[in-house]
Amino acid sequence: MSNIDPDTVPGIDPSIVAALIAARGNAYAPYSRHPVGAMVESESGARFFGANVEVAHYKGLCAEASAIAAMVSAGERRLYSVYVIGPGEHLCSPCGDCRQRIREFADENTRIQVLDAEGSLLKRYTINELLPDAFGPENLSY
Ligand SMILES: [Zn+2]
């Protein structure tokens, strides 16, 4: 299913997987029936969780956006890592909007990990791989 070399990519800590599955379990996804959980780890090492929150007008909030909002609301501004767990075996990679949100608080050391439903790592990205040549905060400092 994945093309990850197990010798170079360590498994995800089981406690993180359990917490991600719990976060995904709190998703409110009655319309898409596609629950997603996310965890972001800030520069300080604090962990913030999120789940997708849908609403009837279809302008819901993604799990990654939810977790980033929790981090920022706690006063943190730098993303050390991002984990996303979807409901199936497919690659539940961050949507375009979430890539830009991650970009806002990421740097070249930030890693974004996408897990399958059981918590196995499917793919790991840098923000530049997810959103190359991205517009970011420095583009506004002229
Ligand atoms: Zn998204």
By the CB criterion, residues less than 5 angstroms from ion ligand 1 are: 62, 95, 98
9-15: long-range contacts at Cβ-Cβ below 8 A with a sequence spacing of 24 or more? Answer: 9/121, 9/124, 11/120, 11/121, 12/83, 12/113, 12/115, 12/119, 12/120, 12/121, 14/119
The least confident of 3-7, 8-12, 63-67 is 3-7
Half-sphere exposure of residue 20, counting CA atoms within 13 Å on the CB side?
Answer: 29
Query: 127 C-alpha to center of ligand 1: Å?
Result: 14
Catalytic residues: 64
- 7 CA from centroid of ligand 1 (Å): 30
Q: What pTM value is reported for the model?
A: 0.91
Q: For the chain, what percent of residues have pLDDT higher than 90?
A: 89
Tell me the per-residue pLDDT of 68-127, one tens digit each, with 9 for 90 and over: 999 999 999 999 999 999 999 999 999 999 999 999 999 999 999 999 999 999 999 999
Residue 44 has pLDDT above 90, yes or no: yes
Q: Output the CA 33–ligand 1 centroid distance in Å.
A: 15
Copy the structure tokens of residue 139.
Answer: 């583009």
Rounded to the nearest 10 degrees, the angle between the axes of helix 14-25 and helix 63-73 is: 110
pLDDT of 8 > 80? The answer is no
> What is the model's pLDDT at position 48?
98
CA of 60 to the centre of ligand 1 (A): 9
| pLDDT-derived band at 141, boundaries 50, 70, 90 | confident
- pLDDT at position 9 is 53
Give the Å distance between the CA of 85 and the centre of ligand 1: 12
Indicate whether 63 pLDDT > 70: yes
In this prediction, residues 25-49 reach a mean pLDDT of 97
pLDDT of residue 49: 98
How much is the pLDDT for 10? 63
